[in-house]
Amino acid sequence: MTNDDAIEIAARAVDLAIGAGAQNAQATFSVSQRFHVEARDATVSKLERSAGSNVHLRLWKDGRRVAVSSSDLNSQHLRAAIVGALDQLRYVAQDPFAGPPDEFGRFAGDLSLVDPAVSSRDDAERIEDVLALERAIRAADPRIVNSSGSHYSDAVSTIGLASSNDFRGAYTATRASRSTAPLAEESGSKRTAHYGTAGCFMRDLEDPAVVGAVAARRAVEMFGARKPPTMRAPVIFERDVAAAVLDDVFSAVAASNVAVGNSWLAERIGERVGSELVTIIDDGTLPGRLGSAPFDGEGIATRRTPVFESGVLRTFLYDTYYARKLGARTTGNSAGGGIGANNFYLEPGRGSLAELIGSTRRGVLVLDTIGFATEHATGTYSRGARGFMIENGELAYPIDEFTVAGDFAEMLSGVDGVASDLRFDSTTVAPSFRVAEMTISGN
């Protein structure tokens, strides 16, 4: 599928919609070639290869909006779905802010989102990747006797966007990832861990040996874990968990949540919310990164948007609709129906994670969390967690079956250390950071 083919399919969907009576229409056509292999020990347990496509249409008429999404591209079927949606539209309230963007654009620089080395990999190479991961976790420690599976996957995706008011655009991007989930056993008890790596380019991925060794260490180091005491203490969020915290921050700055009362940051633009160390950027123009694209989901040029600068909340992230509704300008964050992150990240600091631990007298290092209890309206955070107790700047003993909880405003203002270990293995990422004080519930 070429970029021109993708534009052509999107444009035909727009024509169908206009022909059926829409005043304005936008269509996003996406197609992906996906490959996935899973192995356990020396056995290839899953081998998946598919081509999937979808068209997503936004239709407007008389200040009302509806959407159609379909994996069935047959034009008669698609037309029937559009007619049905236009009947739905009659029941939608008129909204002065509804409508396609007034002007379009695209980032002019070279984003280099395509790695030919991804699409040219043959099956034997891809399978060897997962077998190498399985060997690596077992070689790392004799207690690694099993795994929930090692994975390699890649995809080549093409996105075509067409708008009835004169936008045509398309781009192609590659992505690849490898991950593993070893299981360690010691005197009848089982411990698992997970570690992975991902990027647009093969060369950005960590080697199977490294991924396997990190995952294996994380599984075995949890043996003998106990509950920490219930206390208020400094908490260090390791990089992967820190990224999950940043996901929650993203939800609070997404204008779609702000507009409906679902953000604790509503009405706080210009305020100092975080500490000096909190600088958070959304940037769709970083070359070769997973969240980069020349234009967003509705054809607006991507850009670099500082969201927090030295703790001060500068802006929310908008698409056209919510920008109009909240009296702002779009930041190029349309996901074609909602608000999405481009590359949303916390600026790294200077020191290493080890230095951050070393400067913590008594606290908790969080390596993994479970649960998803974030109340975005009120800004409260709570997770089940595991990690290490830190005493006198050293990892004293592993801990689990505890919760870490706090208020987002206190968490951001309490950030008193940020490490340098940022990596762009997802669209929302963060380096490890420390919060001065949170509530630990254990014994």
CA 189 from chain center: how many Å?
33
Q: Of 15, 347, 407, 416, which one interacts with another protein (CB under 8 A)?
A: 407
Q: Supply the minimum distance, in Å, between the C-beta of residue 373 and another protein.
A: 4
Q: Tell me the C-alpha to C-alpha distance, in Å, between residue 24 and each of 59, 63, 169, 328, 385.
A: 6, 10, 17, 22, 48
Q: Supply the minimum distance, in Å, between the C-beta of residue 439 and another protein.
A: 5
Residue 422: strand pairing partners: none
72 near another protein (CB under 8 A): yes
Residue 278: strand pairing partners: none
**Within 45-97, where are the H helices?**
75-89
d(CA 315, CA 65): 26
Q: Of 240, 296, 319, 400, which one interacts with another protein (CB under 8 A)?
A: 400
The region of 15-23, 239-247, 255-263, 350-358 touching another protein under the rule CB under 8 A is 255-263
The region of 1-9, 209-217, 235-243, 403-411 touching another protein under the rule CB under 8 A is 403-411
d(CA 154, CA 134): 18
75 near another protein (CB under 8 A): no
How many residues of this chain bind another protein (CB under 8 A)? 78
Q: Of 226, 362, 378, 394, which one interacts with another protein (CB under 8 A)?
A: 378
**Within 195-347, where are the H helices?**
208-220, 239-253, 255-259, 320-326
Q: Supply the minimum distance, in Å, between the C-beta of residue 268 and another protein.
A: 12
358 near another protein (CB under 8 A): no
Amino acid at 249: V
The region of 9-17, 90-98, 103-111, 301-309 touching another protein under the rule CB under 8 A is 90-98
Instruction: Please tell me what DSSP assigns to residue 266.
Output: T
- Of the pair 225, 301, the CB lying nearest another protein is at 225
Structure tokens at 341: 């992150």
Residues 11-70 that bind another protein (CB under 8 A): 40, 43-54, 64-70
- Of the pair 112, 443, the CB lying nearest another protein is at 443
- Of the pair 111, 259, the CB lying nearest another protein is at 259
- Of the pair 201, 264, the CB lying nearest another protein is at 264
372 near another protein (CB under 8 A): yes
Q: Supply the minimum distance, in Å, between the C-beta of residue 122 and another protein.
A: 12
Q: Supply the minimum distance, in Å, between the C-beta of residue 207 and another protein.
A: 25
- Of the pair 230, 310, the CB lying nearest another protein is at 230
Residues 116-175 that bind another protein (CB under 8 A): 123, 146-148
Amino acid at 342: N
**Contact assessment for residue 436 and residue 417, using Cβ atoms and an 8 Å cutoff:** no
Q: What are phi and psi of 324, to 5 degrees?
A: -60, -45
- Of the pair 221, 400, the CB lying nearest another protein is at 400
**Within 201-345, where are the H helices?**
208-220, 239-253, 255-259, 320-326
The region of 87-95, 200-208, 276-284, 310-318 touching another protein under the rule CB under 8 A is 87-95
Segments of 19-113 assigned E as strands: 24-40, 43-61, 64-70
- Of the pair 284, 406, the CB lying nearest another protein is at 406
The region of 13-21, 86-94, 170-178, 246-254 touching another protein under the rule CB under 8 A is 86-94
Residues 175-194 that bind another protein (CB under 8 A): 183, 189-192
Residue 339: other Cβ atoms inside 10 A: 26
Q: Tell me the C-alpha to C-alpha distance, in Å, between residue 177 and each of 172, 291, 429.
A: 17, 15, 16
- Listed in sequence order, the residues at least 6 apart from 124 whose beta carbon sits closer than 8 Å to its beta carbon are none
With left for phi above 0 and alpha for psi between -120 and 50, is residue 201 left, alpha or beta? Answer: beta
Kindly report the CA angle at 81 between 76 and 85, in degrees rounded to 5?
A: 145
**Contact assessment for residue 261 and residue 267, using Cβ atoms and an 8 Å cutoff:** no
389 near another protein (CB under 8 A): no
Q: Supply the minimum distance, in Å, between the C-beta of residue 383 and another protein.
A: 7
The region of 256-264, 284-292, 309-317, 428-436 touching another protein under the rule CB under 8 A is 256-264
The region of 2-10, 76-84, 344-352, 420-428 touching another protein under the rule CB under 8 A is 76-84
Q: Of 120, 350, 370, 392, which one interacts with another protein (CB under 8 A)?
A: 370
| Nearest alpha-carbon partner for 333 in 309, 308, 300 | 300
354 near another protein (CB under 8 A): no
Q: Supply the minimum distance, in Å, between the C-beta of residue 340 and another protein.
A: 17
